[in-house]
Amino acid sequence: MPRFFAGVDELRPLLGQEVAVSPWISVEQARIQHFADAIEDPQWIHVDVERARKESPYGVPIAHGFLTLSLLSHLSALAFEIGGCRMKINYGLNRVRFPQAVPAGGRIRARFTLKGLTIVEDAVQLLWAVTVELEGAPKPALFAEWLIRVYPA
């Protein structure tokens, strides 16, 4: 169940703190294949199970880094909800790193720390430090500084 905030004002006291953690989700080969098809990136390390088993240092196909990044919207929806807004938009990223590959069948979750909350025109801009963990791995699969703009209802 996502953590619910009635509005952006409920986030202000949480500035600098971890606000929410998503549940674990599985990154299966079918999801990786669909993503490869959608972005027209059929690199063997992602989609060729037999070749990855034989030639990849991971022994299995791995998710595209951009697939892990694109799952941030889904992971955030699983972790928290902000009420009292008419829309939220992805405004961009300040920094993205992929320290650990996500193998097919691996499970990931995201931790969201609120680093900034700024009034911008008719919106509130939230700066999230997001760490995507890979279950059982010593390093995160992804770290990003993610900007979201929330427009009040």
* Distance linking the first and last C-alpha atoms of the chain: 23
| Total count of domains within the chain | 1
**What is the SS3 assignment for 102?**
coil
- Domain limits for position 139: 3-26+64-152
49 within domain boundaries:
no
Judge if pTM exceeds 0.85. Answer: yes
Position 137 scores a pLDDT of 98
Measure the CA dihedral 2/128/67/24, to 10°.
Answer: -30
Indicate whether 59 belongs to any domain. Answer: no
Residue 39 lies in a domain: no
Residues of the chain falling short of pLDDT 50? none
- Determine, yes or no, domain membership for 128: yes
Q: Tell me what pLDDT residue 43 has.
A: 97
Residue 110 lies in a domain: yes
Per-residue pLDDT reduced to its tens digit, 18-34:
999 999 999 999 999 99
Domain containing 115 — which CATH number?
3.10.129.10
In a domain, 90, yes or no: yes
- 43 occurs within a structural domain: no
Residues 32 and 67: beta-carbon distance below 8 Å: yes
pLDDT of residue 120: 95
Residues 6+ apart with CB under 8 A from 53: 59, 60
